[in-house]
Chains A and B, each alone.
Chain A
Amino acid sequence: MTSGRRGSRWFLREPVTGAQARVFCLPYSGCGASMYRQWPVEYEGVNFCPVQLPGRENRLREPAFATYQDLADVLAGQLVPYLDRPYGLFGHCSSALAAYETSVRLVERGRRPPSRLFVSSAVAPQDGPFGSFLEMDDAALAAELRSLFIGMGGIPSAGFIEMAVGVMRQDVEANRHYHPAALTVLPCPITMISWSDDRNIEPERMNGWSACGPTKPVMLPGDHYRFIEAPAALLYELVSGFNPVADEPNQSDKVSSRPN
């Protein structure tokens, strides 16, 4: 349909070839890949690759996935050409669940497993669904989106909000219907990222992730939406996730000359 096009519709920009590792970033509820626009393309040799999902932004004409499992089935295949180096998946809130399901699918299919799963502000698969969006009707979602949008500095039209609510509603329903039949324990470590001023998900609500793999809890300063700005502390956690030393926070005796 779009002539002259090459590259994957699953990325707004193709993953770079020179990076040592990649982090595939799944968009937050109601959003598309452009929400990661403040993130660097590459930081310390790690390429951040925002994933574009069907049903939003330039893929609005495609139907959104009804379940995280359906999404994972397809996305796991789409990522295969980009798994030629160490990689991780990052998800915030409900997109952390989609990132988990995709990791599970890649492992089940015998692909190169992720080096690490990064979950931010999200309850574990068996502890959900959880979140304030679940109880909101469309009018409440519209009010929420309007205030978020104004908070970002925009003045949304009614038509814009109506479209955004449609995208959001599909994501909320996918979250509501996510009840994994069985938990798969991932072979890779999971970094559980909580945020000090996050009123949506307190850090202890994330503890269930330990049922899904070896976990490393991290609390970063900021509120629920801070990750959008790619704060340096978050980038540091993501990048150091590819460093084996970072996997063993309780074995600091292995790290020589540690201060304090």
Chain B
Amino acid sequence: MSGRRRKLANEFAAPTTLLQQSLARLWAEVLGVQPIGIHDDFFELGGHSLLAVELLELLSREMGLRVSARTLYLQPTIAELENAVSELYVAGPGKSRGEP
């Protein structure tokens, strides 16, 4: 995938869990930035409201994850979002997490 190189001052921390890796892949797709570290801030990477809506749509379509804009804005890094999303998994009764 082509894209801008990550230009952030915080240290790069690679995704490790499967969920982090999936999230990072979608972030890279939406933001056009590579690589994405788990502590990188969505907005500092160039994210904005239009891209946020695009990302939420992608999370729903590709991962079956229904995440609200507020959840993303309150947890704007992959590490934080993973926590929030994991809780959604537990809370979501019988919600499929598989690929469509």
Interface set of A (CB-CB < 8 Å, partner B): 1-7, 12-14, 32-35, 37, 52, 57-58, 60-61, 149, 152-157, 159-160, 163-164
The B contact surface, by secondary structure, is: loop
Question: Known contacts A3-B39, A60-B74, A157-B69: does B10 contact A34 (CB below 8 Å)?
Answer: no
Jot down 28 A-B pairs with beta carbons below 8 A, ordered by A: A3-B13, A3-B79, A4-B10, A4-B39, A5-B10, A5-B41, A6-B9, A7-B9, A13-B7, A14-B9, A32-B48, A33-B43, A34-B49, A35-B48, A37-B48, A57-B48, A58-B42, A58-B76, A60-B73, A60-B74, A149-B50, A153-B50, A154-B49, A155-B53, A157-B53, A160-B56, A160-B69, A163-B69
Q: Which residues of A contact B54 (CB under 8 A)?
A: 154
State the CA gap A52–B73 with chains docked (Å).
13
Q: Which residues of B contact A58 (CB under 8 A)?
A: 41-44, 73, 76
A164 touches B73 (CB 8 A): no
Most chain B CB within 10 A, of A1, A4, A153, is at: A4
B44 touches A149 (CB 8 A): no
A157 touches B44 (CB 8 A): no
B11 touches A4 (CB 8 A): yes
> A159's contact among B43, B47, B68, by CB below 8 Å, is which?
B68
State the CA gap A152–B76 with chains docked (Å).
22
The 3 closest A-B pairs by CB, nearest first: A34-B48, A160-B69, A58-B43
B10 touches A13 (CB 8 A): no
Which residue of chain B lies nearest to A167 when distances are taken between CB atoms in the complex?
B73
A159 touches B73 (CB 8 A): no
B76 touches A37 (CB 8 A): no
Which residue of chain A lies nearest to B37 when distances are taken between CB atoms in the complex?
A4
Question: Known contacts A12-B43, A58-B43, A163-B70: does B49 contact A2 (CB below 8 Å)?
Answer: no
